[in-house]
Amino acid sequence: MSTEHHGSHTHGEPPEEALALLKYMAHHNAHHTEELLQLAPSLPEAAAADVEEAARLLRQATEKLEQAIQKAEG
């Protein structure tokens, strides 16, 4: 099993770049949460419930990112 991380970021990047990436991710996640909630009603009930739960969890994760942003900004 590989522990390599994929993406455009590197360890040790300047704090302002890390903060900008966190802000982008939080905004991006919020957008996807809304898309999931719009998609859910078009699915069978059991699948819609799972998608709605996923959207709730994604919203919670986004809130944690926003907390981290606030802490990083001081």
pLDDT of residue 63: 97
Tell me the pTM.
0.76
List, for residues 18-50, the tens digit of each pLDDT value.
999 999 999 999 999 999 999 999 999 999 999
Q: Average pLDDT of 45-56?
A: 98
Q: Is the pLDDT of residue 70 over 50?
A: yes
For residue 12, the 8-state DSSP code is T
Supply the pLDDT for residue 47. Answer: 98
Q: How far is CA 54 from CA 14, 33, 47, 58, 67, in A?
A: 32, 8, 11, 6, 20
